Structure 1
């Protein structure tokens, strides 16, 4: 079997039906091989940044490893931000790039470079394929490594002439690897949980990724624990409408410590070190609180804080085992009743803020997110990359269905458009609404080309305030000279008419005129048959118009 045929056979065997790619000369043997088959689709992206985001969205929707083909050093460099995001979000990708022909590689031909060195800092593992007979086994290893905990992107450099060789290679069979069992020491963990007077649970993105939300709910109800989402979470890791849900932890150690104050036990499940963003002095865990931690990655246990008990094991089975061991725990019922009253009070306050902020464009940001939340179809997926408006939106949304929220804690901007396109391709039955900051949208605008080309029915909401509002707010929190004078250097992008951008790519577009109009637009996403871009004018920093 020729190397290219072996490669395609392995892709099929690994469940790949879609390749996300942007080709160049060094990928021509691969795309030529794809032209001979009809069971693997090729999704073209015109820039590698949003392209890698599309693959990430597809992988998250299908819960399978996605496959990406980039073009040599330059294309790989363009895709690095997506790889960094995928690494942080634990998204399994197998990424290849075609290297220059080996017969003149020593002469440093155009576009060649150290592909493995370039990728190494952004991915979980790298492979430099130099011999045709090594390609099948290295590709098998790549798929296994991408999916193994902690999941993430894996990179292979494949010289273009290697795929074109007329050499007979063999394809190794796919290995079956058993997953992790439930953690050991569950009886000891159950005793610690039941002995706590005021337990808290931090629900990390591993819970959503591993399909363990219902198991965490069962345990939280069994002990009556207050549940917080990890900072800047990527997934629905606990139902936001559940009375035990107390919101999202802030992305600073001081903020986390303040929210967890009063809890004598913190049970941390499937989260990467709390993901603090801005520096604040001191630890995240209150000094009086004990920590029990459960994760599938042994490197996470006790990584940034001491734990009373660290549990390594599959999240779902471990949580189910704990819930069974806890059994009927009488204090839980009282705790749940108190939490329900607090939850209703929070909902009333949110509703009051939304009503006060309703009105015409430019919309108050709170009014805008209230309209979005009110208009969401029941089975919708929200892709959020809106920074300041996104913080308000998360406070507003009551998403209960696992998979209903898509974000990346990687922080590399420009991910939102591609994530939404890829996710809708992988989950075609769920209306998809992408809520994007105007600055974020500018980083990944080329992803609209793919949305238009393949008629992907995503509703893109661009929250347009003409500035980098989050940076202004950060300077204000520092008591900076910029804040005192009102002069912010490099933080204004001006009024941009995103309807023109949509028209350029051939996408239907509309500008929201008021909160009722925006709610109606979002509601109609349930019956969308193609992409729609919505320009949403919102007030800027300190209430100024864009």
Structure 2
């Protein structure tokens, strides 16, 4: 039976709909017709009469669900919609919610909640203070006071998630809300791109023009905001060397460009060493700077000044020094290019990449640098690499260059278990594109269930597992705390993991490579496969 009420927002008579109908209408208007989830009892009422034009993307654990949605959101430039189970389900997801927060990925997360009618009785599966559970790693979190307010809450969540700095939001929804009748909510057009104020921009332009040897440090926000071409144009105009910010989750400058200068380490003293000789540092879409270990001394080389362009007010606030413009990176660069007119400068020295490595002798375990060099040789330039192999990261910087916008993704949080399921989401969001998931053996085990989702979705993903049989990154990092090279590090050995067997158990074909002559044919097969293929590479 149809029901009508007077809409006090505009004094018109409007037909009411169920909360379920209102939410799916709204999601359709927002372009979010994929629901990433792992169902539980408190979510079942949402999916009655599930719309035929929607797709449910099943992950076998909540951390997998969030990372798949994160990859999809980054690939499509739109927020992804997630449905999690109450309490424990959100808890399972928190690791990758934290990563989405650090990645600045827009996610609209709904979490089931027990029925309002029994919440006073501390029911089984009830979430106590549901809106507080995911904080501080969501931009906004709410459990609406009334069932009728759920569609408005989801609309608000979407606008907040999509406003820079983008990020995840959460709406907790009691299970008996979905059948309540309410007014429909229409999607609105909300402008989100902010231009820099002219005065600050002029100061940055003047500093760049006056610099003797400027350096640009690019971060993930350049690629996220579609400002790749503008960043290249700015660097070329100023003959500025371009460094990659520490722990950047995207590639924001072509690594075969003559002005590309390599990656900055996450250590204060080392950053100062690398930037020596520059009198101006322009942090572009990046913090200044991300550190991983305690450091001492100045944040910049002696005599160098800092200017910054960021879409994140918090990043501008905690920067230790310098002038900062808070704005859309792309719009800020467009305006900066219209103002900046530097004098002719000589081209700086080009960055020297590591030389090619020789093929390992027969019978010897493969080296990571040779494996990545071979992968670089055979992969298409526009293929997408989604990486989570911490111990191979520095080697990848030397032997697996990235050339194009939106062809590299990794987690900016340091939390493992993101990249394998994120590769599934990226492949889902960019149909027909070849996706390479480059994963360490330790990282893979945090979210190995993602293989099942890749198989069910039939995605063209090549999963390359670098199996060194330990948490190798911890062995390297231990030296910072005084461990000697041969000191044991407890809890870091990972013997006897069979990734080909794990893949087969989830329906995915796998190959094991432990000889040099077998690597290239295996990689070529993976790059040409119409569906997912796992390649386990034994490395030393």
Q: What's the TM-score bracket when you normalise by the shorter of the two chains?
A: over 0.9
Q: Give the secondary-structure state (helix, strand or coil) at the position aligned to 1:120.
A: coil
| Cα distance between partner residues in 1 of 2:361 and 2:378 | 14
Matched ranges for 1:105-504 at <5 A: 105-114=119-128, 115-165=130-180, 167-185=181-199, 186-307=201-322, 309-327=323-341, 329-331=343-345, 334-335=346-347, 338-339=348-349, 342-343=350-351, 346-347=352-353, 349-351=354-356, 354-355=357-358, 362-480=365-483, 483=484, 486-504=487-505
Q: Which residue pairs with 1:543 in the alignment?
A: none
Q: Tell me whether 272-281 or 395-404 shows the greater mean CA deviation.
A: 272-281
2:382, 2:523 → 1: CA distance?
12
Per-residue deviation, 1:485: 5.4
- The whole-number CA distance in structure 1 between the counterparts of 2:64 and 2:95 is 9
In 1, Cα distance between the equivalents of 2:424 and 2:242?
31
Residue in structure 2 matched with residue 519 of structure 1 by the alignment: 520
Pairing 1:535–2:536 present: yes
Gaps of 5+ in 1: 540-546
Question: Residue 208 of structure 2 contacts residue 342 of structure 2 at CA under 8 Å; is this kept in 1?
Answer: no
CA distance in 2, matches of 1:304, 1:77: 32
- Tell me how far apart the structure 2 counterparts of residues 357 and 302 of structure 1 sit (CA, whole Å): 50
| CA deviation string 1:392-442 (max 9, x = no partner) | 112222212101101011111111110100000001122000110100000
Q: Is this contact kept in 2: 1:3–1:162, CA < 8 A?
A: yes
The alignment partner of 2:131 has SS state of: helix
Are the counterparts in 2 of residues 465 and 495 from structure 1 also a CA contact under 8 Å?
Answer: no
Once the two structures are overlaid, the 10-residue window that deviates more, 1-10 or 248-257, is: 248-257
Q: CA RMSD in A?
A: 1.7
**Distance apart, 1:515 and its partner CA:** 3.8
Q: Deviations over 1:125-171 (max 9, x none)?
A: 10112312211211110000001111000000000001122x23232
Query: Per the alignment, in what secondary structure is the counterpart of residue 194 of structure 2?
Result: coil
Q: Is 2:10 the counterpart of 1:10?
A: no
Asked if structure 2 preserves the Cα contact closer than 8 Å seen for 1:373 and 1:393, the reply is: no
Q: Distance in 1 between matches of 2:465 and 2:341?
A: 48
CA contact (8 A) 1:204 1:229 kept: yes
Q: Which residue of 1 aligns with 2:8?
A: none
Q: Is 149-158 or 448-457 further displaced after alignment?
A: 448-457
* 3-state SS in 2 of match to 1:399: coil
Q: How far has the Cα of 1:190 moved from its partner?
A: 1.8
Which one is further off, 280-289 or 492-501?
280-289
Gap runs ≥5 in structure 2? 1-16
Give CA-to-partner distance per residue, 1:79-128, whole Å, 9 cap, x none.
Answer: 11110000001000000111001111111111212321211122111011
Change (3 A) 1:183 1:368: farther
Conservation of the 8 A alpha-carbon contact between 1:374 and 1:519: no
User: Distance between the aligned counterparts of 1:244 and 1:305, measured in 2?
Assistant: 27
Give the one of 35, 58, 65 matched to 1:51: 65
Q: What is the rounded CA distance, in whole Å, between the counterparts of 2:93 and 2:310 in structure 1? A: 29
Q: Deviations over 1:3-61 (max 9, x none)?
A: 10001011001111211011111000112242xx1111111111011110000000011
Are 2:89 and 1:63 equivalent residues in the alignment?
no
Alpha-carbon distance in structure 2 between the residues aligned to 1:350 and 1:54 = 36
In structure 1, C-alpha distance between the alignment counterparts of 2:491 and 2:533, rounded to whole Å: 30
- Structure 1 contact 72–98 (Cα < 8 Å) conserved: yes
Paired position in structure 2 for 1:41: 55
Give the Å deviation of 1:360: 5.5
Residues paired across the two proteins, number: 522
Shift of 1:290: 0.5
Distance in 2, matches of 1:359 and 1:198, equals: 48
1:338-371 deviations in Å (ceiling 9; x for gaps): 43xx34xx24x432xx226576562111111111
User: For each residue in 1:275-296, what CA deviation from the matched residue of structure 2 results, as whole angstroms up to 9, or x when unmatched?
Assistant: 2112222343224210111112
Question: Does 2:106 correspond to 1:92?
Answer: yes
Instruction: Give distance in 1, aligned partners of 2:519 and 2:299.
Output: 39
Comparing 492-501 with 18-27, greater Cα deviation is found at 492-501
TM-score, length-normalised on structure 2? 0.93
